[in-house]
Amino acid sequence: MKAIATRGASDINAPGAFEEIDIERPSPEGEDVLVRIEAVSVNPVDTKVRAGALGDISEPTILGWDATGIVEAIGERVSDLAVGERIYYSGEVNRPGCNAQYQLIDSRLVARAPQTLDIEEIAAMPLTALTAWEALFDKLRLAQDTSDHGDQTLLIINGAGGVGSIAIQMARQLTGIRVIATASREQSVQWCREMGAHDVVDHHNLVNELKRLDLEDVDYIFNCHDIGVHWDNMVSLIKPLGEIVAIAETKQQVDLNALQGKAASFHWEFMFARPLHDVQREQQGAALATLARLLDEGRLRSTLGEIVGPLNVENLTRAHQMLEEGHTIGKLVLTAMPQN
Amino acid sequence: MKAIATRGASDINAPGAFEEIDIERPSPEGEDVLVRIEAVSVNPVDTKVRAGALGDISEPTILGWDATGIVEAIGERVSDLAVGERIYYSGEVNRPGCNAQYQLIDSRLVARAPQTLDIEEIAAMPLTALTAWEALFDKLRLAQDTSDHGDQTLLIINGAGGVGSIAIQMARQLTGIRVIATASREQSVQWCREMGAHDVVDHHNLVNELKRLDLEDVDYIFNCHDIGVHWDNMVSLIKPLGEIVAIAETKQQVDLNALQGKAASFHWEFMFARPLHDVQREQQGAALATLARLLDEGRLRSTLGEIVGPLNVENLTRAHQMLEEGHTIGKLVLTAMPQN
């Protein structure tokens, strides 16, 4: 089978970051299924791994952890999926990714794909939706049922990014919570409004922007950006006993003491933690099944931003470049590699 | 009335850290009650405020936020307490403390004192018990009912200190959780066992000590010591998706990124946050009422360590010295100032 691989590349603009390789198609064992990839999405984790975040890469390595495709074969312990079914999943960052014609994936981490969406719309969803789901429900412990959150407030920093876009939508499904997203460019402000944010504020002047909304502070912050960049703002804006969840590390020093006086909580959400540490894998399959239902019911919509083209060296390089330049709105998706 | 005050003193061993003052006895208004103090306890927060943690002190300032005493008068909005009742409370760090003959205290922050304990045993409890209560139930959200925690593990760092001592006892009231406390000196190891710890380990060699118990990691960490000193240990020992709660700031730099890969949570517990920010005051009165019942039922016992003597300049100075030297076991208590 063909795949797009990297041998590690800190600079995506230098030539040779990716290459096409031809390797033996694997066979599924145990809990695994073999998937024929139909569409994939790219995420910041792809660019970080490519640049060496998980260690130097020497052997050709297949990135990509966001996909939809058709089950081609199943391992001997798989009983709830059949050949021919369309599934979607994020997967495991320490196993070969989806930038390939075929991929092995642990069946506990997948769910049947939504039935009413295009494959490109589907591929945009798993990693970011799982991240937002775990952040809102496992970490901030917002109520999934119809419990009223009263006049609670949730600030989503970087609302137009992949995770922010679906987090806004999910939070809007909850009862009573006011969703404030940050964005600065006209196009991303508009996008956040389309996702359902009650308010959109400029992250360059966050404390004053919230004052403009008559808000001194917020109950919850979901930071989808570098935690260091917004640390002081978060310290100012979180309510006493409030909770912050974040997904992106920082190179800056942050002063953890600064949250003490408010007795605030700081949670890391890292979608790959469950598979990486082999705990509660089934919960990710279950969450994706619920998310597929919400997408089919139209309560959530795909955050697909742009279809870059079929998966090949040129398009994958371009997708990584676009992600690293920032300012993408919604998700970048690539379609299947040609089968010949 | 008489009180012991400080004008600020960074060095407790220099003369003049405390002085006796004579001021007008206040009258309660609104939600306040006036209390005749019977016994007080000292806590690290007292030494920190004395040394300027909340800002320079110029006017004589009364410290002390841990007391029991008799209601002498009540404000016009107090309906659930009567003159003559014994209450116990921690109070508000930004109001005059209990190192005095009388004190005003917000009635929502108090409860009737346990009936079966000596006043010294009572005075030892409110601040630390409230801190442990909020840490275990509000932050770590352990189950207060009889729900089984299965084989979950809780590591309490500095188990022989004031908060650690009552936290061990409270955790032992829960179903199924294994309580591991740290202590190093023979006397404090013994104390932790008396408090009910399943295991006591040396904090100087924490990772290996847990390996000795066949534990690679723990579900929860309650750090009752400087978070910087044990940061690397906590990063090593917390389970994926695990939760840390802490009460003491650090002067060291801590690397918050280090918890990301495990998707761990870090909570600050700060008992004064509710009164300081004027949120959910009633919850502290309610928690103290429950704690009084648990103490009267013998399910919790007082962590009184030593009665220093009556409240005067000399004894209060000595109590602060003992706290700053460290190595106190349980709580230091002083009895009432003479009424003449």
Asked, for residue A76, whether it belongs to a domain, the answer is: yes
Could you tell me if B54 and B113 lie in one domain? yes
Q: Is A155 helix (H, G, I), strand (E, B) or coil?
A: strand
The C-alpha atoms of residue B35 and residue B74 are separated, in whole angstroms, by 9
Interface membership of A137 toward B (CB under 8 Å): no
Is A259 in Cβ contact with B256 (below 8 Å)? no
Could you tell me if A27 and A89 lie in one domain? yes
The C-alpha atoms of residue B158 and residue B303 are separated, in whole angstroms, by 14
Asked, for residue B12, whether it belongs to a domain, the answer is: yes
- Using an 8 Å Cβ cutoff, are A237 and A206 in contact? yes
Could you tell me if B251 and B313 lie in one domain? no
Asked, for residue B275, whether it belongs to a domain, the answer is: no
Asked, for residue A250, whether it belongs to a domain, the answer is: yes
Interface membership of A249 toward B (CB under 8 Å): yes
B268: nearest CB among A134, A250, A264: A264
Amino acid occupying residue B3: A
pLDDT tens digits, one per residue of B140-161:
999 887 788 888 999 999 999 9
- Residue A290, token pair as written in the block: 């619920």
Out of B268, B298, B324, a domain closes at B268
pLDDT tens digits, one per residue of A253-300:
999 999 999 999 999 999 999 999 999 999 999 999 999 999 999 999
Out of B246, B268, B290, a domain closes at B268
Could you tell me if B120 and B176 lie in one domain? no
The C-alpha atoms of residue B66 and residue B38 are separated, in whole angstroms, by 11
Is A268 in Cβ contact with B240 (below 8 Å)? no
Asked, for residue B340, whether it belongs to a domain, the answer is: no
User: In chain A, whose CA is at the least distance from the CA of B140?
Assistant: A265
Asked, for residue A120, whether it belongs to a domain, the answer is: yes
Alpha-carbon distance values, B133 to A123, A139, B274 (Å): 45, 21, 13
Most A-contacting residue of B255, B265, B269 (CB-CB within 10 A), to test interface? B265
B234 Cα to chain A: minimum distance (Å) = 15
Q: Give me the percent of chain B exceeding a pLDDT of 70.
A: 100
Could you tell me if B15 and B75 lie in one domain? yes
Could you tell me if B190 and B206 lie in one domain? yes
Asked, for residue A340, whether it belongs to a domain, the answer is: no
A270: nearest CB among B253, B261, B276: B261
Can you give the pLDDT of all 340 residues of chain A as single tens digits?
A: 999 999 999 999 999 999 999 999 999 999 999 999 999 999 999 999 999 988 899 899 999 999 999 999 999 999 999 999 999 999 999 999 999 999 999 999 999 999 999 999 999 999 999 999 999 999 999 988 778 888 899 999 999 999 999 999 999 999 889 999 999 999 999 999 999 999 999 999 999 999 999 999 999 999 999 999 999 999 999 999 999 999 999 999 999 999 999 999 999 999 999 999 999 999 999 999 999 999 999 999 999 999 999 999 999 999 999 999 988 888 999 999 988 6
- Using an 8 Å Cβ cutoff, are B177 and B197 in contact? no
Could you tell me if B74 and B31 lie in one domain? yes
B249: nearest CB among A257, A263, A265: A257
CATH number at residue B297: 3.90.180.10
Out of B213, B235, B268, a domain closes at B268
Which residues, listed in sequence order, are joined to residue B35 by a DSSP beta bridge?
B71, B103
Asked, for residue A190, whether it belongs to a domain, the answer is: yes
Within a 10 A sphere around the Cβ of A175, how many other Cβ atoms? 12
Question: How many independent structural domains does chain B possess?
Answer: 2
ipTM topping 0.90: yes
- Using an 8 Å Cβ cutoff, are B8 and B58 in contact? yes
Q: What is the span of the domain harbouring residue A197?
A: 129-268
Could you tell me if A227 and A243 lie in one domain? yes
Could you tell me if B235 and B189 lie in one domain? yes
Could you tell me if A118 and A134 lie in one domain? no
Could you tell me if B11 and B82 lie in one domain? yes
CATH number at residue A220: 3.40.50.720
Could you tell me if B155 and B230 lie in one domain? yes
Positions of chain B with pLDDT lower than 70, given as ranges:
340
